[in-house]
Structure 1
Amino acid sequence: MRRILWVISAIGLLWGEPVRAEQESYYRFKPEPAVSAIVLAIDCSGSMRGRAFEDAKAGALRFVEGMHASDVAAVVAFSDEVKEVQGMTGDRAALRRAISGLRAGGRTKLYDAIARSILRIMNRDGGRIVVFLTDGRDTGSRYTAEELRKIGASEGLFVYGIGLGDVDREALSALSAATGGTFEVTSQSSDLPGLYPRILAEYYRKYGDLLSRSGALSVRSLPDDRKVLVNAREEGLSPVKLDALTAGTYRVQVFFGNGTWTCEVPVKQGQRTMVDARASDLGAELVIASLPTDASVFLDGAYVGVTAIAPFRVKAEKKGWVRAALEDGRQLRVHRVPYGVHRLKFRAIPEFDFGSEQEFEVEIQVGDPRIVVYVEILGTPRSPYVLDSAGTARLIGGAKRSPFDELDDF
C-alpha cells in the first residue's frame, strides 16, 4: 500500500518577499500650505518670578514680531493649571497683550501644557509648531514626555523648546528631536530674548519656507516603537517624521515580530503623507507540498490550489527539509493567512493505477513566524500521525479511504 506524506510549512514574512500593503488603504494626505500655526507655551510657575519672567516675556514678544504676516499664534500659560490666555489669532496686538499680562505663581505642569498646545493645532493645515519655555522639571502632569513624543511625530507637528536652569534635558531633547525641532538650554535668563527669535528663524529656514514647495512623511504603527526604513534608510523607531522631502514615491518598511510591512507611498509637494502600519495587516505564508503530488487543498473550506507537480528534494524530518521546501518555487503558496486557528483539508488525486485516494483534515495554530507540520497518513505503524514544530497541529478524525483502496490488496 502506498504511503502518503503531507508537509505543510507556515512561515512568517521574513522568509520571503514582504507582503505589500493595499496601497491607498494605509495612507492619507494632509495639506501643508505656506501658513504656520504656532502655540507659545510659557512657564508661569512660581520659580519664574522676577527677572527671568520679564526676560521670558521679552523673548516671546520678539518671537511674535518676527512671525510672517500670514502666520497665526496662540498663547498658553501653565503653572498649577494650563490656560489658553489667547486663542489662535493673527492679531499681533492681541498676542502682545496676552504675553505682557502673564503672572507667575504655582507649580510646573509642563507636559500637560505641551499636550494642550498640540491638541490646539493638531487639525489645522500648514506648519504646526509648539514652542515651550520651562525653568524646571514637570510636576503633576498626566501626560508623559514619551507620550508627547509619539503624538508629535505621528501628527507631523514641530516641537521646539527652551530650558532655563535645571530641566530634564534628555527627555525634552528627545521630544523635540523626534518632531524635527530643537531644545535649547541656558542657565542665564538674559539669553531668552535672543533664543526665541533664533528658534523662529531656524524653523523658517529649515521648514516653514519650504512647506509649500516640498513634501513630508509621517509613519506610525500599531504596535509602535518598531524599526522604520524609508527607501532602505533606517529612520528610527515608530512613529517617525520626515520633512522637506522631494516629491516622488517612497518605499516604507516597518518591522514587526511577525514580518515586514511594506508600502509604496507617494509624497506630494505641499502635503504631508500620513502612513499607518499595522501588524494585523500581516499574516503568515503557507507553503504546502505533498507526496503524492497534485493534491487539492482547502483552507477553512476555501479552495486554495493544488500541490506542486514535484516534491522538494530533501526528505521530511531530515536536516534542511524546511528550507528546501521554502526555496522550491514550484510548491503551493498561500499568502497572508491570518494568525489564529485554521483547518486544512486535503484530497489526493488518484493515479492511473487506481492508487488510494485520501481525504483528511489538519488543525493548525498559525501564530509563530514559522510553523512546520508533518503528517503521515498511511503506510507506517504510527499512521495517521502529525508532528509540528510549534506543537499545535493535530489530525481531525482519521483519514477517509477511497473504495479503490481494496484494490491495493491484490
Structure 2
Amino acid sequence: MSELHPAIEDDFHALFHEVPHDHLTLNSIKRQVPLILMLTTFLAGLLPLTLKFRYTWLQLRQLFLSLGVVDNRSVLHLLMIRVTLGMLLTSCFVCLLPKTRELLEFDVARIPNAEILISFALALLIVYQETVVHCLIDPDENYNKQRHLYLVYFLRHRLDVPKFLPEEPRSPREQDEAGEEPRMVAVPPPSGGDDALATPRGPQKIKSRPMSNVERIREYQTEKRLYEKQINPRLNASVSVGVVVLLAHSTLDGCALGMQATVSETFFVLTCFLAHRALLATTITIELMYSNFSSKAIVWVMSVYACAPAIGAMVGIMAVSDERLAPLLGIACGASTAAYLYTIFFETLRSVPINSDSAILLNFSTFMGSAVSAIVIILIKVRLHLKP
C-alpha cells in the first residue's frame, strides 16, 4: 500500500489528532441548539391549544381550580414566571459572585458573557411582567365589573358559539325535556313604538317566545363588539409592548446560549432555557386563549416566538469570539439586578398583600426556583472540581 503525500498526511493528522474532541462536540451541539429551542418553544405553546379541542374552557378552568394552585389567570401567569425568574436570577448570582474581581477589572477573557446576558434578559422579563400584566388591571370598578360580567357571559355561552351553525328554535316543551331554562324575548309591535298593542278592548301585553340560537349568536356578537371597543386600546398597547419585549428577551436567551465555551456550560444553560421557555410559552398561549384569539393566530404567534431564540443562538455562535461588549454587558448586569431588587421590594410586595394566598404562592415559587437552580449549579460545579 502506497504511503500518503506528506501534505495530505499532515492535514489528516491535524484534523483527527490536534483538534480537541471537546471542541468538535461543542460545535456539533451548537448546530442543534437553534432547532431544539425552536421545537421546544413551539410544542410547549401548542400544548394548551390541543387541550382546547378536547375540553371546553369552562372544564379547563374547573380543572385549574380543582388543583388548588391558582384562583385566576393572573396568578397562574405570575406563578410560572416567578419560578423561572428565581432560577435565572440564582444562576446569574452564583456564577457572578465568585468572579467579582474579574468583572471590576474588566478582564474580557474571563467575563461570563452568558450570565451577564441572562441578567440583562431578566430586566426585560420584569418589564414584560410589570407592564403587560398590570396594564390589564384597571382600578376602575366599572371597568372591572363590565369585564367580569363579559367573561361570565363568555364562559356560559362557550368560546366556540359563533362557530356553530344556526339551528331552528326549540319549543318550550323540548327545552323542558332537555332541562334548559327558556330565555324569553319580547316580540316587537307591528307598528309604532309603544310597549303595548292598541286594540278595541284596550292595551294587550306583548307575548314572549324563547330566544333562538341565531338570536343568541347575534346578542353574543353585539356584546363582544361593545367589549372590544372598551378594551382594545388598552390591550393594543400592552400586547405591543409584550411582543417587542418577548422577542428581544428571546434573542438575548439565544445569544447567551450561543456564547458558551464548554459543553457542560452549554448543557446547563440549555436546560435552564428550555424549562424557562416551555413554561413561558404555555402561559402565553393560555393568555391568548383567554383573550379569545383564534387557533391560527395562536399558531402564528408561537411560530414567531419560537424563531426568536433560534436567531439569537445563531447570532451568539457567530459573535462568540467578539469580547468588546463585555464592559457594557457588565454595566447592564448591575442595572438589571438593581431593577429586579426595586421591583421586588417596592412594586410587587407593595401592590400584593403579604397575607394573601397569591402573595404566598408567588414568593414561595420564587424561592423554589432559586433553590432548585442553586442546587443544580452547586452540584455541577462540585462535580467539575472533583474530576481527576
> How would you bin the TM-score normalised by the shorter chain?
under 0.3
Q: Find the structure with the greater CA-based Rg.
A: 1
With structure 2 as the length reference, what TM-score do the two structures score?
0.22
Query: Which has the bigger relative contact order, CA under 8 A and spacing at least 6?
Result: 2
Instruction: Answer 1 or 2: which has greater strand percent.
Output: 1
